[in-house]
Amino acid sequence: MKYDTIIIGAGFTGMAAAALLSKKQNVLVVDKNIYYGGRSATLTPKKYGWADVDDYYLDFGHHLFPSGNYLDFVIKHTGADKYCDIELINMPMFYRYKDFHKPPTNLLEKLTAYPFMPFSSKLRINKLLKYAEKTSFNEIKDKWLYHSIDELYDHFNFDEYAREIFTDGFVAGYQTVTETDKLSGGDLLFCMKAFQRGIKKYKTPLFASRGGVVNIIKAFSKIVEKNNGKIMLGKKVKKIIVEKNQMKGITLEDNKIIYAKNAIYAAPVYGLLNIVKNDLPDKYIKRLNAAKKESTNLFLVMGGSKKPLLDKPIGTWIMIPKTETKHVDSYYLVYEFDQKLKQAPNGHFLLNFAVEIKDMNDLKNPEELVERMIKDLQPIFPDFNFKKDFEWRVHHFFPIVDGLRRTITWHGKNRFGPNTPIKNLYVAGDSCYEFSTGVDGAVSSAIFTVEKITGEGPIFRNG
């Protein structure tokens, strides 16, 4: 049997593409794992092999879903919303000067928020927010995509207060890196537009899925199966078959051959080096090897507790800037999962603490790194005893959070895809051509690749 499109990877990228394509095409999804999700899986600590705990559900890695953007659109557009329970997440908070601050959503809040900040700083921030909201997608793309965040800050006369809250309070959350001299200013504006759209539509910029992020992927799988598509888990692709520079199909590890008109590689793009390297031109291979060094990382401490971090549950993200910590050279991303997500037993709380690793020597003694993180976090959350209040606690280093950081040298036309040098072989994901953050960016890439294959679109019109 010959498929219209084979998709390699059953994570958000692959399953979103499959859900979109399967309406009109005969689609096959193949993944080496026996579970859905890839870097967006949701499993118990026991199934991850991290702890003997099977009543908590951990999302693999770090995921901020902007409401009202690409992922939200594809969920509704494909009908996947019938098969998963979407929950809005409370507004994230920013910790500074011994207090937790909520981002302003109206004029009065903009004037009174962040009392530590001069009024002139607030005016500059408001000017940038208005610019992001009112400026068209194409104008931002043309003017700012290949200019750095620092250049954007300079253009709007940002002082140290405005730079800190934007960098450690926003950029860190959606990028997981804070190299403002290298990161794209246009990318910041795209992500700010997405978050503003969510606030306008849903009163919050964030959403999640009850039971874990993987349930959205499983909802996509139901759409694929409903449309008579096929999904093969636990099947590793050994090779992509290429004849006369044209993709013809795939060979599985058991040497089974499956033919298709098109193929989408929906994983970090440098994985192509393992299954099709001999058919790629040297220049493309060189770019893949360079991209391999540009992924982002996080070190996470995860655990379960019978009590929340503060005196009352917060059920959202907290961004902590570097200026508030001294034992680890990083901002902190803290996430107390909302109890309505049902990822912890009733009356219990799933907690997540993340830092960026700049010096790989920190990983030589991860237990010592955890102790340093606790020294930073304990004064910020004095009601929570990091030594005694965890029922269980694990730590894990995630070497690939975003497959390819969105710097001015790795954005827009400089990213990979949707096409490759091999005819009918396409790529999609967070290392490819995209215009958003994290999973939402990966789904935007899936949309662009589907449009390229079908010749139809735009599927989603970004304002």
Tell me the pLDDT of the chain averaged across its residues. 95
Nearest to residue 354, comparing CAs of 400, 398, 402? Answer: 398
Residue type, 35: Y
Mean pLDDT within 147-158? 98
Pairing of strands 257-265, 2-8: parallel
- Examine the pLDDT at 232 and tell me if it is beyond 80: yes
- Superfamily (CATH) of domain 297-398: Guanine Nucleotide Dissociation Inhibitor, domain 2 (3.30.519.10)
Cα 279 from Cα 229, distance rounded (Å): 29
Mean pLDDT within 18-38? 97
Pairing of strands 65-66, 206-209: antiparallel
Whole-number pLDDT of residue 132? 95
Mean pLDDT within 7-28? 98
Whole-number pLDDT of residue 458? 87
The pLDDT confidence band at residue 457, using thresholds 50, 70 and 90, is: confident
Q: What does the pLDDT look like over 353-385, one tens digit per residue?
A: 999 999 999 999 999 999 999 999 999 999 999
Whole-number pLDDT of residue 79? 98
Look at the block and give the residue holding tokens 């109206």: 106
CB under 8 Å to 337, separation ≥6 — which residues? 315, 343, 344, 349, 350, 351, 352
Q: Which residues in 68-175 belong to E strands, given as ranges?
A: 86-89, 93-96, 99-101
Q: Could you tell me how many residues make up the chain? A: 463
Preceding peptide of 418 cis, ω within 30°: yes
Mean pLDDT within 50-54? 96
Helix axes 438-454, 12-21, angle to 10 degrees: 30
CB under 8 Å to 249, separation ≥6 — which residues? 2, 6, 240, 241, 257, 258, 259, 260, 263
The pLDDT confidence band at residue 189, using thresholds 50, 70 and 90, is: very high
What CATH topology corresponds to 2-86+209-293+405-454? FAD/NAD(P)-binding domain (3.50.50)
Cα 186 from Cα 177, distance rounded (Å): 16
Q: How far apart are the first and last CA of the chain?
A: 41
Buried b / exposed e across 361-380, counting CB within 10 Å, b at 16+? ebeeeeeebbebbeebbeeb
- Examine the pLDDT at 8 and tell me if it is beyond 70: yes
Q: What does the pLDDT look like over 77-97, one tens digit per residue?
A: 999 999 999 999 999 999 999
Whole-number pLDDT of residue 463? 54
Segments of the chain assigned to CATH 3.50.50.60:
2-86+209-293+405-454
Mean pLDDT within 337-343? 98
Long-range CB pairs of 380-385 (<8 Å, 24+ gap) are 380/95, 380/320, 380/324, 381/309, 381/310, 383/307, 383/309, 383/310, 383/311, 384/305, 384/307, 384/308, 384/309, 384/310
Buried b / exposed e across 266-276, counting CB within 10 Å, b at 16+? bbbbbbbeebb
Whole-number pLDDT of residue 459? 87
120 three-state secondary structure: helix
CB 349 within 8 A of CB 304: yes
Handedness of CA 362, 367, 368, 370 (dihedral sign): positive
CB 7 within 8 A of CB 19: no
Cα 119 from Cα 313, distance rounded (Å): 31
**Tokens describing residue 89:** 């997440």
Q: Note the CATH architecture for domain 91-203.
A: Orthogonal Bundle (1.10)
